[in-house]
Amino acid sequence: MAGTLKEHDFEFMDVALEEARIAMAEDEVPVGAAIVYDGEVIAADHNRVRASCSALAHGEMLVLAAAAKKLGDWRLNGCTLYATKELCPMCAGACVMSRVSRVVFAVGDCAMGCLGGGPFDFSSVPMFNHRFPAVGGVRSDECLVLLREFFATKRIPRKDCSEGITSDQVKMLHKRLDKSANI
């Protein structure tokens, strides 16, 4: 379900973008997230998968849990989730289950995105008991730069490493990021 931009979307995405920068400094995939309720940021965090040794520690999952705790309710009606990358199946499913009212993301993900940029759109599945509007492309240029920088340092073959990906594979990754950014 396509959504529309609102007045403060860029401002709130800046909070998620700052969290993505922190993630990158901590050697995590630079994805940040924030939840806004009644015009106020009530939760902000970033990926902590490596630090916590848990695939569940996506920034989006962490802010959903923090917001529910702050509001004292697992239902996040009236909340908007901001994320620097299109949500994966786990995070998009958690938005459905927690009744998030709206999702705004920066960079699309043509491989794993589940809000219309990839193979699925969890925001508008008719059989789900909750649907929400999703808006992509907000601050996508800045977020794409962070993702590219991170993956370039991780995936470029090194002389001291016998297993690395080829320069063709790096180019393919960059093409995928470019394609995702053009949602």
Q: Hunting for tokens 């969290």 — which residue is that?
A: 19
Which among 60, 86, 149, 163 is annotated as catalytic?
60
Partners of 105 in beta bridges: 83
Based on the residue annotation, tell me whether 18 is a catalytic residue of this protein: no
Q: Residue 88, Cα to own-chain centre: how many angstroms?
A: 8
DSSP state of 168: H
Closest CA to 90 of 60, 46, 133: 60
Which one, of 121, 66, 120, lies nearest residue 98 by Cα? 66
User: Could you tell me if 65 and 97 are in contact, meaning their C-beta atoms sit under 8 angstroms apart?
Assistant: no
Contact 133, 96 (CB under 8 A): no
SS3 161: coil
According to DSSP, residue 123 is labeled G
Task: Write phi, then psi, for 111 (nearest 5 degrees).
Answer: -95, -45
Residue type, 57: A
Residues identified as active-site: 60
